[in-house]
Structure formats: structure tokens, C-alpha cells
Structure 1
């Protein structure tokens, strides 16, 4: 059974995702699909619009055969560690033959060439990257600038290969899907994986597009904007927050979202966490904040200063705080990841480069179908990591982070119950 791996968020799953799924199976000539999916919190530091089990169900209804959870230790990281954690999981299954990702470039050659050059991290590269980040540019732009400078340096040096420079010419590493693709290939190279990388061109809607340019394809960002804000959501027959998204998502996505919203489990956005977040921000000293992940370069002092200057009567306190904190140096994605690590109370010593480089340490199953059951049976013999279908009392550190993340995420629900706080202990893998 030939199997393709996908790395996804599905926030929510839309027609563009379904196209990528179908094309990935064709490109890989695959009989089966394993999806590694972010849990409740996503790569740009945002909470998912609905929880991980609902989004795993979307993936299974679409046709994915096995859905594994990308731990929050990796799912809310910059591209380098997000990609590394996801690739380590796919490789550890022992059953994935190919990885197919969407890219703006649509050509695997230039991305592979860049990855081959950069995987050993040439001398001075990380210093260049950090200098660019300190200038306040986004991670993709900083990485692109550092990679371009390194490429020019190597192209002008002794033993330079013009064909390599020509192969990489035109590759836009300041584009989010291209940069993620590069990091997928870097991760495959670093762990010496036999998984074959493939890419297809992202079509019609860019990653950050907020507009509607096509009759049936829109970005997840644009779709989330179509969903009425949680403060105005009603299911009394007067307001339907999902009517506007129907042309852009499969019918099962609408059904699952409607069920979750009606149960008070969505739509989830940052404002739902204003209470617990501000309790952390106000209750901790600058020194205590500085011990948490992503609180770097004196950001704790800027946070405290902005809190003292905060306007009264804010209707969107988290959004207002992000806008006040944002500078050229501190991008929105960086700030969202910072606030998330503060909300989840993740200390720096738990997410060092050394600990992240060791990989997730387990394979957490969120759901499967009949083909997925066969994959799980093969994984019992082939997987390099323990396969977790039930959470016991003794859990590894990254899984403990996920359990706590579920508890915090459930604080945004309309009803507060221990079953939701501790759902990781009670919820068996979905079977579709």
C-alpha cells in the first residue's frame, strides 16, 4: 500500500484543501493518506476555530485514512520547528512513502536545491537570519534574505556551481508555502528520511488572502472572516454564521461546524481567552514572564507598559493588545505565539532547541477509517515511536502539554465541564 503524508491545519477544511488532497494522492500514486494535523493551537499562534477532534473528523470525511496530532510544542512554532516536528512524525510511522505539500512555486527542484545547500546550516547563516529578524521583518522574509545572501556568497566562492544558482533562480522564499516546503525538505534531509518530497502549486487563493477571488476556492483566512464573530453568533433561526461559507467548503465541513457551534464549542477566536490570558499577563512579574517561551529581547517590559496604557472599555482586548504591541520588530505572528505560550504557561526550558530536536516522542492517533486501521496494524511492526490511542496516567512531557492545551482551549466553550477539560483522557480515536 503506497501512502502519502500531508501536514495540515484545516482551520477549517475547505475546497482548496480537498483539491490538494486529491492531487497529492495522484501525484504520489498513493492508495492511502496519513495526515499530521495541528491540535487546538496553530502555527501562527492562533486558536483553531473548532477543536482538534472536529477538524480530524473533517479530514476523515474528506478521505484521509489516518490523522495524527502534531503536538502543540511544534504546532505553534516558526516554520523551522513546525516542519521538523511534523516530518519527524510522518517518518516515524514507518508507512509513509511520500510527502506532498502545496507551494507557490510548484517546482520541487529549486526547493530541493536550496534544502541541499542549507541543511548543514552554513557558517554565519543563523547570524544572518537573526539579524534580519531583529530588523522586524517576517520569518519568511528574514529566511529568504539570509538564504539569498548565503547563496550569493557561495556562488561567488571557489568551486561554485552556476547550475545550482540557476536551479534556485526565481524561488520566492518570502512566500509562506515555499518556506514551509523548504523546511519540510530540510527536515527530511536532517533525519535522513527515505520519504520522497513532492509539491503541487497552490491555486487561486494565497495563504493570507482575505478576499474572495474565485467562485469555489478561498483561503482559510477569508473563510474565517466570513463566519460571524462569536459575540453575534445565534442559532435561534435568526442568524446563521455559516451560510456565507457554503460555496467554499465541502458540505461535511458546514455540518461539523454547525454541530460544534450549536454545542457551544465554537467559533473560537482569541477574544474567548481574554480572561485567562490577562490573568497571566497581569498576575506575573516581568521576571516571571521572561521565563516563558517566545518572551524574548525585553518583550516582557513592553507588555507590562502596554497594559498600564490600556484603554478602558475595550470590546476586543486581545486584538487591541496585539495592535499596541506590534512593531516592525515584533510581527503579529511572533506576538500571537508569545501570548499563546504565556496563556499555556510554557517555560523556555521545556522547549529548548535540544529538546525540540529530539522529536515528539510518540504518535498520537486522533482518528482513522478502515484503511487507516490497516495502516495502524502495519505501524505496530514498523513505527519508530509508540502509537498512542489511549492516554494513560504516565504521559511524556509533550503529550502532557497537549492535555493541558485541551483544558485551556475548553475554557472558550459555552459550557465548562470536566469531560471537556480532560477530554484527552476520555476521547477514543474517531472511527469514520
Structure 2
């Protein structure tokens, strides 16, 4: 069976995702679609709108056949490490190809840009350091250094997040000597960071989340931008837990973690460096909300995304050395859900999988999965007390979701 892999967050699953899913299946000529999906905390350092179990259900009801969790140690990371973990999972589960959405939609421009970056690596690094000395963030310095070397339209725009991720996916395939074939389809209408609806049927997840939070749980304003299963599951989640997750739900816990920590203890947290601990502690005292806290710690040198990821690691008390590095691969395949077709695929390939398939938590005790469990427990604190307990217990009681 020919399987195509997707790397996703589905926060939430919307019409643009549906377009990407069906275009990927067609481009790969695939029988099976396998999604590697971030768990409860995401690459941009945010809690997912709804739990990974509800997002898994969205994926399966909208056409994905197998959903595997991208472990926390890869999911809440910069693009290179995020990509490396996801590619290692898709390779281990036997995918023949990976198809990613991009602003470019042209694979040849990815390959040409990667070759160019490799050829110009020394000069690029020198330029990056020069721009960093001006106080800009690393991603900004990379973009400026890159554009200083070329203004050709045949190269990718590295200011676009999906182009950056696409490059990292291809680099990870090469680094891991994977047999995965990279494919890309152009994103439809909405830009990744769009905060407003850009068309009648396609909107970014950012704009959908913004509309959701502005309506205090009402789904009316987003109905045309998401498939029916997504709309129903969002309504069900809100009815059951009376909340959609956002950073403000966790502000009191983050503030507590900061105020009870010493500078020395904060320096042990992953991604806390260069004296940031003192800035974090000062801001925790004078901030009344997460938004205010972020505005107080933001500098030109650190992107909002980088600082949000750091906050997730403080919230989960994740130390240096516990997270994946650029050379690390995933150690297990955590199965979140499958369709009957997905089950048949896994049954057929079970003996050929190069990593252990984890469907019951009691069957695997690796250190990485303990981070996932801790993240799930912390995530559950974003809802009211009794409901929090139910969400926390679900992580241990929930079997992989089966559809069809």
C-alpha cells in the first residue's frame, strides 16, 4: 500500500487542510494518508485550541487514515529539529513520500535554494553574524543574509514560514538518508499568519482561532471555513470543557513557576540563555496577563515564537538535555488514531516498522514519552478543576481512536 505522509498541527482542521490532504493523496497516488501531528503544545509555543484526541478525531473524519503523535521533544522546537523528528517518524512507518504545503508550490525551487544555501554556507554564516550584531532575531538575520546574497525570483522567499519548513523537511530527508520522496502543493488563498478571513471558504488557522476567541465559544462565524466534522467537534469540546485553550488559561501557572524560581533554576530550563532569566523574573512581577508579560519580555533579538516556546518549557519544567537535538530521531511511534484502512496498513507492516508502535502507555517507558505525558497533564490545567481531572485521566485511559 502506497502511503503519503503529512506533518500537521490541525489547530483546528480547516478547509485549507482538506485541500492539502486531498491534493497530497492525488499528487502521491496514495492509498493511505499518514499524519504526524503535534500533541497538546505546538511548534509556535502555544497550547492547542482543543486536545490532541479531538484534533485526531478531526483528522480521521476528514480523510486521514493514521495519526501519530510528534513527541513534545520535537514538537515545541525550532524548524530544523521539528522537521527532523517528523521525518524520522514518517520514514519509520513506511511512507513512500511526504507532501507539504508551501507558499511556493514548486519543488524545483526548494531543491535549487537548498543547493544554493549549501554552496554559500560560509558567506551566509558570515552575513548572519553581521546582522545578528545589529540586534535582530536569528530568523530575521537569516532572511536578511540570504536576500543579501540573491534577489533572484527563482529562489524561495525565506520570509515565508511554510517555505522554511519545507526546506527543513528536505534537508532532514537527505541527512537521514531517507527514501521518502518530497512533494509540495501550493497553499490555497490564505497566508499562514493571516489574522483576517481572506476568502469565502479558505482561512488560516490563525484567523479562525482569532474569530473563535472573539465570539466566546461561538462557532457561527467560522462555519464556512471548516468542514462539518470540525465544526461539530469544536462545539462538542466547548460544551464538554467550557473552554478553548489559549495562553491566558495558563498565565497564573506560568507566573507561579517564575515567581518561585531562582535565576539559577531558570537557567536550567531549555532555551533560557544569555541572561533572559532576569528579564523573565522582572516581567513576571509587573505583568497581569500573558499578553502583557510577552510584551514586557519581547526584544528585537528574540521572536515572539521563540519566547512562547521558552514559556512552554518553563511551564512544563523541561530542562536542558531533555529535548531533542539537531541529530536526534524519534524513538517510538505513538498511535493516536486510525481508520479501518489505516489499521489494515499497520497490521500488514507491523513487523517491518523500524520503531516500536505504542498504542498503550503501559507498554513503553522511554524518557521521551514521559515528556509527552507531563505536557498532557499540564495542558489539562487549562480547564476548570473537575474537568481538568477528566482531561488528565483521559491521557492514560484513551485507546487509539478508531473510525470506520
Q: TM over 0.5, yes or no? A: yes
2:213 alignment partner, SS class: coil
Given the alignment of the two structures, is residue 69 of structure 1 paired with residue 39 of structure 2, yes or no? no
Post-superposition CA distance 1:259-282 (Å, at most 9, x none): 111111631000111121111110
Match for residue 161 of structure 1?
Answer: none
Q: How does 1:380-395 map to 2 (within 5 A)?
A: 380-392=350-362, 395=365
Say which SS state the counterpart of residue 271 (structure 2) adopts. Answer: coil
- Specify the SS of the correspondent of 2:87: helix
Superposition TM-score, scaled by structure 2 size:
0.93
Equivalent position of 2:208 in the other structure: 223
Change (3 A) 1:364 1:189: same
The superposition leaves residues 39-92 of structure 1 with CA deviations (integer Å, 9 ceiling, x where unpaired) of 001111000000101001000000100000001111111111111111111011
Equivalent of 2:160 in 175, 184, 202: 175
Equivalent residue for 1:155?
none
Report whether the alignment pairs 1:289 with 2:261: no
Match of 1:360 in 2: 330
1:424 aligned partner: 395
Q: Secondary structure at the match of 1:347?
A: coil
Aligned length: 402
Cα distance, 1:400–1:258 mapped onto 2, change above 3 Å? same
Q: Deviations over 1:231-251 (max 9, x none)?
A: x74xxxxxx611111010011
Task: Tell me what 1:373 maps to.
Answer: 343
Aligned to 1:274, the other structure's residue is in SS state: helix
Gaps of 5+ in 1: 153-164, 234-239
Q: Which residue of 1 aligns with 2:37?
A: 37
Tell me which of 201, 224, 236 is aligned to 1:259. 236
What is the deviation of 1:305?
A: 2.1
Question: 3-state DSSP class of the match of 1:215?
Answer: coil
Which of 290, 306, 319 pairs up with 1:318?
290
Q: Deviations over 1:200-250 (max 9, x none)?
A: 111210000011120011100000011135xx74xxxxxx61111101001
Please report the TM-score for the alignment, with normalisation by the length of structure 1. 0.87
The offset of 1:370, in angstroms, is 0.8
Would the aligned equivalents of 2:10 and 2:17 in 1 still touch at CA under 8 Å? yes
Q: Is the 8 A contact 2:255 2:284 kept in 1?
A: no
5 Å-filtered alignment, 1:115-126, equals 115-116=114-115, 118=117, 122-123=121-122
1:169 aligns to what SS in structure 2?
coil
Structure 2 unaligned spans of 5+? none
Is the Cα–Cα contact under 8 Å of residues 140 and 176 in structure 1 kept in the other structure?
no
The reply to whether residue 243 of structure 1 matches residue 213 of structure 2 is: no
Cα distance change, pair 343–136 in 1 and its aligned pair in 2 (3 A): farther
Q: Whole-Å Cα distance in 1 between the matches of residues 243 and 135 of structure 2?
A: 33
Contact in 2 for aligned 1:419/1:426 (Cα 8 Å): no
